[in-house]
Structure 1
Amino acid sequence: MANEKYGKISFDEASIQNSPSTIKNFIVSDKSVNVQEHHLDLHYPHIVEGITFAICTKGNSRIKINLQEYEVTANTLISIIPGYIIELISESDDLSIEFLFFTFDFIADLKLTMDIDIPEKMGQMPCLKITEEETQSLLEFHSFIVKQYRKTDHLYREKIAKSLLYTLICEVMQLYHNSKLVESPRTKSRQEELITQFVELLFKYHKQERSVTFYADKMFLTPKYLSKVIKDVTGKPILQWIDEMVIMAAKALLKTSNMTILQISEELNFANPSFFGSFFRKRVGMTPIQYRECR
């Protein structure tokens, strides 16, 4: 895996819209997508740069997400967050999906309340089997979003799309809230176990800890070995994984809370606001205050 080349699924590659204008940081399929007809070759590992919800409406496939293999059939909800690695192993000729693809920035100002176990469930069950009724409910939300998305001359098009997306996200969270974690019958490889364990620890401790040594100690590994595994498997340095998780948390606090920069820097365990500001600006390209004030 060390020399494996990873592609990226960004907004440029994912844009398959026929409409003359897309909403910044938000793409939605306006028709069922046949994977075989799509120009993006998913038959080798790709790192996803946005948040994705996809619904399989027909056909079947085998897909790897963070090295774990899953079976996708009709009425399967696929939930992907930034940094996940996906690879399409096989698919039927009639495989079709509907999807929404958006950045964290697009929803950063939405005041989402999430149960603490939902991120864990999404991580352990990125492919969630749901009922026909639940599928149709999500597709109805999706269809309504598409209808509003097409209104390119509507003054409040983006605000409406964002509000509808908020509702759909709440529906997805409810599905995960109702679900029960099921252990995979297949034994994971050592690398799969390490990636899964690292991501779970990162979700749990990213607000307090940013050192590789901390996570390595938690996993009873040397920092050098953990760093090598993460880089070899994902193609992305471990510090980048940690930084991106911290930045995601910072963006959420800046957009959804009234906390001061000092309070946010303390929440994320920075020595002082100045250090937090430098950290944020280097990775986002603007200061925390500028990000809070931007659309």
Structure 2
Amino acid sequence: MCVSGNFSLCCQNVEYTANKGETIFLARDVYFSISSHSDDCSVVIILYRVDSIRDILGSTIVGMKFIEMLNPRDCWVMHTGHESEFAKYSELLAMGKDNNNVFAVNERKLLLLSLTYRVCSIFSQLAKDGDQASNRKLETYMQLMQLIDIHYTHERGVRFYADKLCLSPKYLTSLVKSVSGSTVQQLVFKAITKKAIFLINNTDKSIKEISDYLNFPNASAFGTFFKKQVGMSPVNYRNKE
């Protein structure tokens, strides 16, 4: 984020310039170099990964990867209108890094989650500038992810979600497969697995209670499902963590 002055950078052999009040978003695994900057140039840089909050990210946020596929860019330069908020996130995240303080650790996770939602909100709006066919795909896919977020503990079949979206199961399956490489059921299973991991890691619920919460017929069925998805039983996973 350019706080004052201006600077230019070269990213993948393309030149970009950011002026005061503008933000540059860089894709993963790209190389860039600063080619010039004004004497009064001041910037705020935020580098972060979502690994530490992956287990609490909603399916809708995970579904935002589709936007990256629709608009594959190495670099975006824009005035988001959220620059001051981004700068505040940077300040807050730099404070209280005591990993022995459970409150500080959880506060940092919530800040990262809030920052992630803010960034996704910006890119969701940007995606609406694409062509109509891509917009329809994006809208359908995001609606599906929102439905999964709401119903994944009870509904696991493609027909339920297809009916909710007024689509045929075959069409919805084809759309989701082309976008994410996964089936609808696999996306639901990912949501279940993510919630199970969160409950195992962050609560004292028994495996039976977690099984009931996720609407498995019994703990044994949940254990079989979990081991297939993660590679180990829920008990062993909890002990490992």
Report percent identity of matched pairs: 26
Evaluate the alpha carbon distance shift between residue 37 and residue 174 of structure 1 in structure 2; reply closer, same or farther with a 3 A threshold.
closer
The equivalences for 1:187-198 within 5 A come to: 188-189=132-133, 190-198=136-144
Evaluate the alpha carbon distance shift between residue 163 and residue 220 of structure 1 in structure 2; reply closer, same or farther with a 3 A threshold.
closer
State the secondary structure of the residue aligned to 1:263. helix
Structure 2, gaps ≥5 residues long = 1-8, 36-43, 68-77
Find the counterpart in structure 2 of residue 36 from structure 1. 11
1:239 to 162, 165, 185: 185
Which structure shows the higher strand fraction? 1
Which structure shows the higher helix fraction? 2
* Alpha-carbon contact 2:50-2:112 (below 8 Å) kept: no
Q: Which amino acid in structure 2 is aligned with residue 230 of structure 1?
A: V
State the secondary structure of the residue aligned to 2:11. helix
Q: Which amino acid in structure 2 is aligned with residue 131 of structure 1?
A: H
Find the counterpart in structure 1 of residue 205 from structure 2. 259
* Alpha-carbon contact 1:75-1:131 (below 8 Å) kept: no
The equivalences for 1:197-276 within 5 A come to: 197-276=143-222
The equivalences for 1:76-115 within 5 A come to: 98-103=46-51, 106-107=52-53
Q: Cα deviation per residue 1:12-53 (whole Å; 9 max; x = unaligned)?
A: xxxxxxxxxxxxxxxxxxxxxx78269xxxxxxxxxxxxxxx
Structure 1, gaps ≥5 residues long = 1-33, 39-57, 61-72, 79-85, 149-153
Q: Within 2, Cα distance between the matches of 1:173 and 1:128?
A: 17
Q: Cα deviation per residue 1:88-107 (whole Å; 9 max; x = unaligned)?
A: xxx9x88x96231132xx44
* TM-score normalized with structure 2 length: 0.61
Q: Within 1, Cα distance between the matches of 2:79 and 2:154?
A: 30
Aligned positions, number: 201
* Alpha-carbon contact 1:141-1:164 (below 8 Å) kept: no
Q: Within 1, Cα distance between the matches of 2:62 and 2:185?
A: 23
State the secondary structure of the residue aligned to 1:220. coil
* TM-score normalized with structure 1 length: 0.52
Q: Within 2, Cα distance between the matches of 1:162 and 1:35?
A: 36
Shift of 1:254: 1.6
* Alpha-carbon contact 2:208-2:218 (below 8 Å) kept: yes
Shift of 1:264: 1.4
